[in-house]
Structure 1
Amino acid sequence: MDGLGAREKHINFVSNHNGSFPSDIILSTLPAPLSVALTSVVLPLLLPTRYVLLQYCSRIWIHLLIETLTVVCPILLSFTLLSCSTVLNPIILLLLITSLMICAPKWWNLNIPVLNRLFSFPLPGKKPSFLTNYRAGMNLATAICILAVDFSVFPRRFAKTETYGYSLMDVGVGSFVIANGLVGSSQNQAAKAWSKSFPLLLLGIFRLISVKLSNYHEHVTEYGVHWNFFFTLAVVKVAPSLIKTNLRPIVLSFALLAIYELGLKLGLETWILSDYPRNNLISANREGIFSLLGYMALYYASCELGDYIKISRTLFKEWLRLLMVLICLSFLGWICLHCCESLLGIPSRRLANTSFCLWM
């Protein structure tokens, strides 16, 4: 009886959440990019100390210690102990970064001619490091959230929403699809796509079997009776290789969203979110199966953005222009999200509707 009561308490603890506000989610995730900037400032300042210590310990351990303090700790604290001060956390990091930059002697020698020459400074045309930083930060934040969500130190407003709303863990779901799209391609070869998705299929099957055998609590209304997010990621990787077309990825994204949103408004949304019996394979997994259309649209949009980011650039000013374009796209996305909320409704991770894709 006590075990049953504990199980019910745990189910209630991780269920029926409505999320938070977009601004709260953004502020809570700001320490992730700021921590990368902090590391970039701290490492040069500690270079002399690092080389002195090299005779006693290896370089990797010094880097590991520094990056644990400057990358892992800010994100961990922002999601847990310091989650009540989402505005204060990024401000503290910004002040710390600014103070360290002022203290660095190399910044004193910068003058106007040097800054002017910076715009014509050549940069190697390699894979952008900010994509690597984004994916690493996303994986770290996801690991923290998954491990912390079962404990009271993790705010309930950050847990996955039940049906509609904004939450930190919902962002993590969409971010995985975006990360795959940014570095992937909308025209992958089938064999290559299958080889990349096969481990995800195995993970999905392993999770399905282990959850059923252990009788661990599963949220059926999240993806369905048998479906899970590993299957979603696997299908999203394979499906583009099966769709042979000359259309741009962004066109396919808009087309999928239009078709899916029309279906939702014609009754599909009501059926997916209803208590309709799960008496066959499709109805049992309706959330996972039909949300694939939304995640596919998000993947194609990310592929389009990734194609633009991966254009060869050799000058600093070209990367600065890319930054301006990304900022403008962000503002445009916020405007579209506001309009979409008014016309179509608020985001739903469970549906992966148009508002959810724009929010991502």
Structure 2
Amino acid sequence: TWLINRYKLPVDTVNPDINVLPVTGTREALFAIAHCVIDSQLQDPMVVTGNPFYQIYEGAGLLAGASMWYVNTLEENQYLPDYSNVPDHIWERCQLLYICSPNNPTGMVMNQQEYELLFKLSDRYNFVIAADECYSEIYQDESQPPLGILQAADVAGRRNFKNIIIFHSLSKRSNVPGMRSGFVAGDPDLLTYFYQYRTYHGCAMSPYIQEASIAAWNDESHVIENRNLYREKFDAVLDILGPVMEVYRPQAGFYLWPKTPIDDVEFTRLLVNNENVTVLPGSFTSREVEKVNPGKKRIRMALVASLDDCITAAKRIKKQINSL
């Protein structure tokens, strides 16, 4: 019901018996899907992902016996991967594509045209699209929730969701990362294989977590309040850092992805040592591709603390920048 309501899907497109499977958090599910779909017996299988990326994508692909291909996420491409520039010979080897929209760490959202390009590529080269949508419920404009891949597939007339599997979690939506509750949904054939694979490595969600999860998915009031709190934090932090850093307001998610005045690792070290503020160096989130590391001289700032703590941290970051 939540999927149908959130993404305005026809009621007959999502059958919970064949299209949905609960998982104990999407981290393990994102890892497991690679082992479920990658055939390491084929010559040099490939996993494609954006760059920067959630480290689970890379670990899953490599441990499943595949090679990785990274698609840079750059400012000139509106901070989204440009899949149209991936060579044909890479798509021919690709068995799995990880996408993340809203994107971690850039906060940008894919549109219908970008999804339809991926559908065409998937049809042509027969690879699975694993869509990590865990940031889908944290967005700036209340009137424009991010487009999801199942919604895009429905618009494109792909109601069988062929080669599509999505990953949703309560961790970000409801601020319960320790509860380890989420679900996967999509292509019923993929879900059949995934279910069979999980019988060997997955564990069932406890009845208590199931009840709490049902309550969370059925309530939108706390999610709206959560978004309002994030907007307040973005407003306050951007007011402080905007004059001293090159930083933009993301469409969604809870990260800022600003440029740093010096090397990102050194800047992070100074913040920890001098101001007791922890951020993630951008270069730690990405790989160098064609002599470009998209995370170089950037940091990922997660506005997950209280409003007061975020304001304090922003002031300390500003102080550190002014002391350089």
Tell me the TM-score normalized by structure 1: 0.25
Between structures 1 and 2, the one with greater helix share: 1
Tell me the TM-score normalized by structure 2: 0.27
Q: Which has the larger radius of gyration?
A: 1
Between structures 1 and 2, the one with greater strand share: 2
Structure number with greater CO (CA < 8 Å, separation at least 6) is 1
